[in-house]
A = this chain, B = another copy of it.
Amino acid sequence: MRGHDWSWLHPVIICVIIAAVAYAMFNFGNVKRLVVGKPMRTRDLRESRNLLVWWMALPVLSADLYSSVAYGPEAGITELTGLGENAKWLILPITAMTVLLLMILITSYIMGVIAYPNGGGAYAISKDNFQRAWVPLLAASALMVDYVLTVAVSVASGVQNLASSYPVLQGHETSLSLLCVLIILLVNLRGISESSKVFAYPTYVFMACMLLMIGVGFWNELHHGFVQPHTPPFGVVPQGLTLMLLLKAFSSACSALTGVETISNAVPIFREGKNGAIKAYVALGLVTGVTLLGFAYHLYVKGISVNPNNTMLSQLAESYFGHGFLYQFIMWSTLVVLILAANSTFTGFPQVAALLAMDGYLPRALRLRGDRLGYSNGMIVLAALASLLVEIFHAQTNNLIPLYAIGVFVAFTVAQLGLIKRWIRVKGHWWRLKAGINAFGALITALVSVIFAVTKFTSGAWIVLVVIPLMIYLAMKVHRHYQDVADELRIDLKVDRPQQHRIVSVVLVSGIHRVVLDTISFAMSSTPNVFALYIGFDDESIEKMEEKWQAWGNPCRLVTVKSEYRSLLQPLSKFIRRLETYEGGKPDHIQLFIAQFVPKKWWHNLLHNQTSLLIRAWMLRHKDVVVTTVPYHLKK
């Protein structure tokens, strides 16, 4: 036998695991308790919110943005790999542009914090300022797309970093990433409060690692020179460089800027209120800027090249610290902080989804809080979508980057436009300056969005440009449906009151035995007009049934039908049509009684015809028939 390729089992196994967990949770409360934890009361929601000092809130909220330094610069320079050594210096101006853009964004977002001190994401801001429903929907869908991508990119990048230090993991990136997503989902279903202090330390540790590395870099350069043997030439225009290529590299590097909105969404958790948030923004901007620039500079000096099996972060750390403890420590803290970034999205995405669901733009199920008070359905949707992306793109960060960050920039632009409208409407101190800052921000982010869409169109951005309008369209359809239903269901409490209805009942009987005895007893106790309907496949069985019914004392009218085509559904629905056009006047309701075996062991279900389920589903969908299921619990 040859060695088999079992990779096709991958999605099957995942589906089986998910189904098994879902089944276990539904059937055995204990399993759910074990995985998700004890359910919490609704009133615990208020108590679980604790306020944080700004320098504790900062790391908690910045994992998403700050962790991007692990892949942002690399994503930028990867685009220029084809141009060779001479293009390597371009990482410096590209990173500088990115940092400049970061400053503009942060300034604009500070305006947002000033305007909405109770926290307000792009959806809330644009809903508050635009009449048309599609504008906030545009912001929301763009954000949601990007949240999904944040999970996929962060997890994939974290796993890639890990595989750089442990080559034995190479080739298993997809499985490991899927496993990470699953673990993050489970942890979040248990309900980790976003404002938990535990999240502060890993981010600070990672920041310290990055700053240490940058410091060591400068120390190294002081001793070995700022131009080292590997340093590529500076300032040369490499052959084949086009504006398009440059913009493409810039767009990719901008993937480092996702996550800026987190702080503005979470202003209420700051003990100092909006001032705390502003302080956090300034500090975060500074640290991120320094890190990006320093990291890019050292990459250039060391002349580090793109290597799909060894991230540039890993290569740089290796060049300073070899493969020792410090290197390992940096790699692990990178993984942890990237996973925290993915984790933070598990608060953001379900929140936006719940907001949309409350406004009737998404299925209501997304509005429900789970046992642990989180929006569990939203989390599950996020994990499923992110897993799908990871699986499709084989957990390769570079494949995912082209889809990434457009969403964020589109949402940025919409939110800024909303803020401008607000300043014009509300006025107040310095409103012209504030509106001007937002206008500039909007202009820049709109420009970046366009650059993104154009340069990355063929390599994946088109997917996002198709998905976002589709989401808006579907959200509108959903809204329309909910409104139609609400209109249809509204009644007048004074006029529309319950009334006595005439009911005709039909009991499906398959013979005469204990189950039929039970069902007939029940039916006759609940309604006066009961027909027993026997559908036989041949004349002998019908005759036998009629005789037995006689011997049983004719408890109610028996109707027998011969089904020449061995179908139950067809003669049954014909009989119901006959009842609907009954000579004695059409009944208000027809009620169908179906017995259902409930075996002790699950696999016994396979041994009993599940026709009753099919009949029930078909009748409810196609006929106006009330279906009553009378369970019979088997003893063995």
Contact = CB atoms under 8 A, between A and B. Distances in A.
A503 to B, nearest CB: 6
Given A489-B515, A497-B553, A628-B627, A369 B566 contact: yes
Interface in A578-636: 588-589, 591, 596-599, 604, 606-610, 614, 616, 618, 620-621, 624-631, 633-636
A567 interface: yes
A555 B369 contact: no
A37 interface: no
A624 B396 CA distance: 53
B626 A598 contact: no
A517 interface: yes
Contacts of A503: 522, 525-526
Contact of A621 (B482, B526, B598, B609): B598
Interface stretch (A6-14, A155-163, A195-203, A447-455): A6-14
A548 B497 CA distance: 12
Contacts of A460: 1
A598 B620 contact: yes
B620 A596 contact: yes
Contacts of A524: 498, 500
A contact residues, range: 35 or more
A513 B491 contact: yes
Interface stretch (A40-48, A107-115, A258-266, A268-276): A40-48
Contacts of A371: 565-567
A422 interface: no
B491 A636 contact: no
A500 B555 CA distance: 11
A166 to B, nearest CB: 22
A618 B32 CA distance: 15
Contacts of A490: 513-514
B631 A620 contact: yes
A210 interface: no
Interface string A352-365: 00000000000111
A81 interface: no
A501 interface: yes
Interface string A510-548: 001111010011101111000000000110000000001
Contact of A604 (B394, B481, B521, B609): B481
A537 B42 contact: yes
A128 interface: no
Interface in A1-32: 1-2, 4-5, 7-8, 10-12, 26-27
A39 B608 contact: no
A391 interface: yes
Interface string A555-574: 11000000011110000000
Contacts of A307: none
Contacts of A396: 2
Contact of A399 (B1, B482, B491): B1
Interface string A473-504: 00000100110110011110110111111110
A228 interface: no
A121 interface: no
Contact of A517 (B496, B552, B555, B630): B496
A522 B626 contact: yes
A588 B522 CA distance: 9
Nearest to A553: B497
B493 A521 contact: no
Contacts of A630: 626
Contacts of A621: 27, 598, 631
Given A392-B4, A478-B607, A497-B552, A491 B514 contact: yes
Contacts of A598: 620-621
Contacts of A39: 565, 567
A368 interface: yes
A489 B497 CA distance: 43
A120 B99 CA distance: 83
A42 B608 contact: no
B496 A26 contact: no
Given A481-B607, A498-B556, A526-B526, 13 more contacts: A11-B11, A41-B564, A41-B565, A42-B538, A368-B566, A371-B565, A485-B636, A494-B551, A497-B553, A498-B520, A526-B527, A596-B620, A627-B629
10 A-B pairs closest in CB distance: A489-B513, A501-B525, A41-B564, A628-B628, A39-B565, A498-B521, A484-B636, A498-B555, A489-B514, A620-B631
Interface of A: 1-2, 4-5, 7-8, 10-12, 26-27, 39-43, 363-365, 368-369, 371, 391-394, 396, 399, 402, 459-460, 478, 481-482, 484-485, 488-491, 493-494, 496-503, 512-515, 517, 520-522, 524-527, 537-538, 548, 551-553, 555-556, 564-567, 588-589, 591, 596-599, 604, 606-610, 614, 616, 618, 620-621, 624-631, 633-636
5 contacts: A2-B394, A498-B524, A501-B522, A526-B591, A596-B620
